[in-house]
Amino acid sequence: MRVLHVITGLAAGGAETQLRLLLQHSGHDAEVVALYNAASVADQLRADGVPVTDLGMRSNTQLGAVLRLARLVRVGRYDVVHVHLFRAFLYGRLAARLGGVRCVVATEHSLLDDQLEGRPATRGVRALYLGAERLGRVTLAVSDAVRDNLLAWGIAPERVRVVPNGLDLDALAFDPFARAEVRRAHGIPDDAQVVGAIGRLHPGKRFDVLVETLAPTLGPGRRLLVVGEGTEREHLTALAGRLGVGAWVHLAGEQAVAPYLSAMDVLVSLSRYETFGLVVPEALASGLPVLYRRCPALEELGVPVPGAVRLPDDETGLPAAVDEALARPAGDRRCPDELRSMDIRAVATAVDEVYSSCAR
């Protein structure tokens, strides 16, 4: 079976990284089209041997891009078109129909209440979303929380299936050599305590609150290591400098997650708006204690996961919670058995079964 994945862009992000992980374990031949910004994840996909096309769109009004994409669909003779993220939902579904493919699958990564991909879902956005949905066959929700929002928007229950994001448990395993290398690269002593945070440098992730709250506790023996890139970099750099902790706050930029998890001693996630919260189970899979605000991925497992502590809404208790997490014995950093059901191999098998069912 030939599958074409259409995604809005391929800069580093949760949906983009999940797409790459899925393709590494899918049983079907796959190619990828990015509407624009075929960045670091496109390079990684090509290195994996996956063909990637960049449509090079410059605005949302380039309707000619739909025709170019439809031509690619028709020439490629694909059995399935799988779309990811809002703009790709609009262009990809329409192009698939124009190209003669009726088996159109979507994955909804980030619909939460009145937010879509971190932006307000206006009445016009919702109308476009629902109109495009009718051109597809099925939408895969990454969590029950996302499914509930899709149903609340008016999408029929039989057109929605829950298939969670997956974890590459082997890749996330703790690596003492990576720990030493990452710390050395950032000038962090081997015996320093490292509080970690991972995600796009976006206001919704609340990294500024993390810096402000932990600033009094930071110093040569305790560092804050933030992995990710985005529009908040300059603000966070200035904030750390203003608070006098610039030397102890390390903004690592866009990096492979697994080695940096190995370098940390606790991970903190203060985002209140998560449709899955992938970084939380990733950190737990690396054997880290995790303090988090919201994580549907864990909440929907139905069992407590050792090392995971849900924080109250009040930030005043965060420094004490970090102290408590760091005071626990480090242990052997094994992946909790409770996360085995999230292995990417099981997730890829579930997606492949959706393709087969849809094509039938």
Residue 70's domain is classified under what CATH number? 3.40.50.2000
* Pair 20, 141 in one domain: yes
Instruction: Return the structure tokens found at 7.
Output: 């995604």
* Pair 235, 326 in one domain: yes
* Pair 136, 189 in one domain: no
Q: Which helix (H) or strand (E) holds 317?
A: none
pLDDT for residue 113: 75
Q: With the C-alpha atoms ordered 57, 257, 199, 201, is the resulting torsion angle positive or negative?
A: negative
The number of angstroms, rounded, from the C-alpha of 320 to the middle of its chain's C-alpha atoms is 28
Q: For residue range 55-67, what is the model confidence (pLDDT) as tens digits? A: 999 877 787 889 9
pTM over 0.85: yes
Is residue 328 within 8 Å of 289, Cβ to Cβ? yes
Instruction: Return the structure tokens found at 37.
Output: 């910004």
Q: From residue 140, how far is each of 84, 131, 144, 159, 299 by CA, in Å?
A: 10, 17, 10, 9, 19
Q: For residue range 258-297, what is the model confidence (pLDDT) as tens digits? A: 999 999 999 999 998 888 999 999 999 999 999 999 999 9
* Pair 148, 174 in one domain: no
pLDDT band of 346, cuts 50, 70, 90: very high
Least Cα distance to 165 among 22, 305, 270 occurs for 22
Average pLDDT of 7-29?
Answer: 92
Tokens 């509080």 found at? 195
The number of angstroms, rounded, from the C-alpha of 58 to the middle of its chain's C-alpha atoms is 24
pLDDT for residue 108: 96
The number of domains in the chain is 2
Instruction: Return the structure tokens found at 17.
Output: 């990284």
Q: Which helix (H) or strand (E) holds 52?
A: strand 52-54
The number of angstroms, rounded, from the C-alpha of 187 to the middle of its chain's C-alpha atoms is 28
Question: In sequence order, what E strands does the chain have?
Answer: 2-7, 29-34, 52-54, 80-84, 104-108, 111-112, 115-116, 119-120, 138-141, 160-162, 193-198, 222-227, 249-253, 266-269, 290-292, 308-310
* Pair 60, 205 in one domain: no
Is residue 325 within 8 Å of 266, Cβ to Cβ? yes
* Pair 71, 15 in one domain: yes
Least Cα distance to 28 among 11, 50, 45 occurs for 50
* Pair 33, 160 in one domain: yes
Average pLDDT of 203-208?
Answer: 94
Q: How far, in Å, CA of 64 to CA of 5, rounded?
A: 19
* Pair 21, 159 in one domain: yes
* Pair 76, 221 in one domain: no
* Pair 151, 6 in one domain: yes
Least Cα distance to 200 among 221, 227, 220, 177 occurs for 227
Is residue 274 within 8 Å of 267, Cβ to Cβ? no
Instruction: Return the structure tokens found at 191.
Output: 């015996």
Q: How far, in Å, CA of 60 to CA of 57, rounded?
A: 8
Q: For residue range 95-115, what is the model confidence (pLDDT) as tens digits? A: 999 999 999 999 999 888 778
pLDDT for residue 315: 86
* Pair 75, 178 in one domain: no
Residue range of the domain that includes 253: 169-341
Tokens 């988090």 found at? 292
Q: Please state, as a whole number, how many other Cβ atoms lie within 10 Å of the Cβ of residue 109.
A: 24
* Pair 65, 181 in one domain: no
The dihedrals phi and psi of 112, each to the nearest 5 degrees, come to -140, 110
